[in-house]
Amino acid sequence: MPKYVIERELPGAGDLSAEELQSISQTSCNVLNDLGPEIQWVQSQVTDDKIYCTYIAPNEDMIRQHAEKGGFPADRISEVRSVIDPTTAEV
C-alpha cells in the first residue's frame, strides 16, 4: 500500500502545548476510525510552522478525506517513492 507524506501549514505549530497536540491526535484517530482500516497514521513531525505527517493509504483521495473530516490542512501530499537511511550507503 502506498505511503504518503503530508505537509500541513500550521503557523505556530512548534508552540502548541502537549494538550493541544493530544487534542489534534485524538481528532485524527477518531477520523481514522470512521474511515476504516485502509488508512493508517504512521507518525508526524512538528516544526515551527508546519506539521509533516506520514500515512499509509490506498490513494491520495483518502488522505484528503481524512484532512477534510478532521479539519486539518493538507497543503501538499506526496507519495513516497523510496526510503533511504544510512544503511543504504553500505556496500
Annotate 31-45 with three-state secondary structure: HHHHHCCCCEEEEEE
The CATH fold of domain 3-82:
Alpha-Beta Plaits (3.30.70)
- pLDDT tens figures, 36-45: 999 999 999 9
- pLDDT tens figures, 22-38: 999 999 999 999 999 99
Q: What is the mean pLDDT of the chain?
A: 97
Q: Does the structure show a pLDDT above 90 at 83?
A: yes
> Could you state, in order of their start, the residue ranges of all structural domains in the chain?
3-82
